[in-house]
Amino acid sequence: MQQQPQSQQKPHLLRGLNARHIRFIALGSAIGTGLFYGSAAAIQAAGPAVLLAYLIGGAAVFIVMRALGEMAVRNPVSGSFGSYARQYLGPLAGFITGWTYTFEMVIVALADVTAFGIYMGLWYPDVPRWIWVMSIICFIAAMNLCHVRFFGEMEFWLSLIKVVAIIAMMIAGAGIIFFGFGHAFPATGLENLWSHGGFAPNGWQGVVASLGIVMFAFGGVEIIGVTAAEAQNPKKVIPQAINTIPLRIVLFYVCTLAVLMAIFPWNSFGQQGSPFVLIFSGLGIPSAANVLNLIVISASISAINSDIFGAGRMMYGMAKEGMAPKSFQRIASNGVPWMTVVVMGAALMAAVVLNYLMPEQIFVLIASLAAFATVWVWIMILLAHFSMRRGLSAQARQTIEFPVPLWPVAPLLTLLFMGVVIAVMGMFEETRIALIAGLVWLALLTVVWYARVKKNVTVAVTE
């Protein structure tokens, strides 16, 4: 009787996420602020041709996730791709990858909490945005201190709300397109997709310019790999979740945005709120706009929840390998690494300051920073996967349980595409500062590695 409390005090993550949880965590990670709010900026850049950017970017993301899935099924660990980078590319690569993913989650969460404040402004325009930002950070931090099964349940229901809402919106939108909406709104047809300057009104340059925002929209989907250490049956549920990614991208991004741009001209979208809410407000249905605002609020809460979870588990995994402070290994009796949750909550308080100082410019800047961190992490996943494959014997390659399709052509093309996305960020003034900041971040991590961390990792590995 006296041994149980003692064993519970040891750092130990619990396998409390079942197939239903992980499937909807995967859904939730692919449907967030990038779709509900960031899509407006992508549409402005490319017009209807943004659909091509989502298709091409989505195909690249699928290959990255198949590479991650192959490694996660083979070795499900709490550090996920951070640990894989260390194992297959070396300790420095693992350190940079793990902390860049944590940086990515912080930046994405900054965008999500900012979007939450913008959504609340529809109902309470006189309340300063930073107040809403602070309140949601405190709420989500408290939620993440609960048992991992509670996190899984919350993500299930929050993701279910936005999935049902998007499907309902597409059905209603299709009705407006082909049959009209009462006497006041005749059927729009599909002409809006090419009748306002053409399908690609800004040419291929516009499509290329939208890639940063498009890749930001997919950022966070790699959390599927992070959940492997707490999944009840990772060899089964991880492949199931990853294999649904192409359908999710086509359904929730391409089809959804096609419906939106068919109803209203692409150049009528702005950044004064979610395109979903603005469309239904434009149709003269204020109650529907309020309902949709509630839905996008739940979507942002879901995304922030996942961001804190993913970064916390990554920091915990790095702490076990000597790449983060030892205090990050502290786990509560319910199996939650509570110190990492507290650290993430404190880091997100930067969003309160930013929303107070520069509420108008913050979203595009944050989205660009997140896109750089996201793409960098994906590049490291692909490189780690290449290294892992190279180290396997021919016989071992034949027994891979979840192999990447079209190896090695598809991963090589995906690596080339990721390099193009990073180069594109330097071509446009509004994203160039994010590229510079990202490169400075990588340089700082390298300096910190050689100055402070390298000797601790050597000791940790030796022990």
Four-point Cα dihedral 144, 147, 152, 155, nearest 10: -30
Closest by Cα among 410, 303, 414, 309 to 366: 303
Asked whether residue 193 is domain-assigned, the answer is: yes
d(C-alpha 435, C-alpha 443), whole Å:
12
Q: What's residue 434's pLDDT?
A: 81
Please give the share of the chain, as a percent, with pLDDT higher than 90: 11
Give the pLDDT confidence of 334-345 residue by residue, as tens digits.
666 778 778 877
Q: At residue 457, does pLDDT exceed 70?
A: no
Does 59 fall in a domain?
Answer: yes
In a domain, 12, yes or no: no
Cross-strand partners of 181: 185
Structural contact between residues 308 and 140, judged by C-beta atoms closer than 8 angstroms: yes
Residue 301 inside a domain? The answer is: yes
Q: How far apart are CA 104 and CA 8, in angstroms?
A: 31
CB 280 within 8 A of CB 41: no
Sign of CA dihedral 230, 236, 240, 243: positive
Model confidence band, residue 248 (pLDDT cutoffs 50, 70, 90):
confident
Give the tokens for residue 203. 């040419």
Q: What is the DSSP letter of 268?
A: G
Q: Is residue 14 part of a domain?
A: no
Distance CA 144, CA 153 (A): 12
Any residues with CB less than 8 A from the CB of 118 and at least 6 apart, and which? 37, 129, 273, 363
Q: How high does pLDDT run on average in the chain?
A: 79
- Count of structural domains, the chain: 1
Q: Which residue from 23, 39, 33 is spatially nearest to 107, judged by alpha carbons? A: 33
Identify whether 315 is part of a domain.
yes
In the DSSP assignment, the letter for residue 38 is T
Q: CA 324, CA 344: separation in Å to the nearest integer? A: 14
What DSSP state is assigned to residue 215?
A: H
Each residue's pLDDT tens digit, 391-417: 888 888 888 888 899 888 999 999 999
Query: Would you call 399 helix, strand, or coil by DSSP?
Result: coil
CB 147 within 8 A of CB 298: no
Predicted local confidence at residue 4, as pLDDT: 46
Say what percent of the chain tops pLDDT 70: 79
Looking at residues 120-136, what average pLDDT do you find? 84
Range(s) of the domain holding residue 347: 19-389+405-461
For residue 420 the two structure tokens come to 């193009």
pLDDT digits (tens, 9 = 90+) for 375-384: 898 999 999 9
More confident residue, 134 or 76: 134
User: How would residue 7 be classed by pLDDT, with cut points 50, 70 and 90?
Assistant: very low
The pLDDT of residue 344? 79
What pTM value is reported for the model? 0.82
251 domain residue, yes or no: yes
Spatial separation of the C-alpha atoms in residues 282 and 185, rounded to whole Å: 11
pLDDT grade, residue 354 (50/70/90)?
Answer: low
**Average confidence (pLDDT) over 263-282:** 66
State the Cα angle at 45 between 270 and 372, rounded to 5°: 105
Residue-wise pLDDT for 186-242, tens only, equals 777 888 888 888 888 888 888 888 888 788 788 777 877 777 666 677 788 888 888
Answer left, alpha or beta for residue 90, where phi above 0 means left and psi between -120 and 50 means alpha.
left
Q: Which of 94-103, 330-339, 368-377, 406-415 has the highest mean pLDDT?
A: 406-415
CATH code, 95 = 1.20.1740.10
* pLDDT tens-digit map of 169-184: 788 788 888 887 665 5
In a domain, 5, yes or no: no
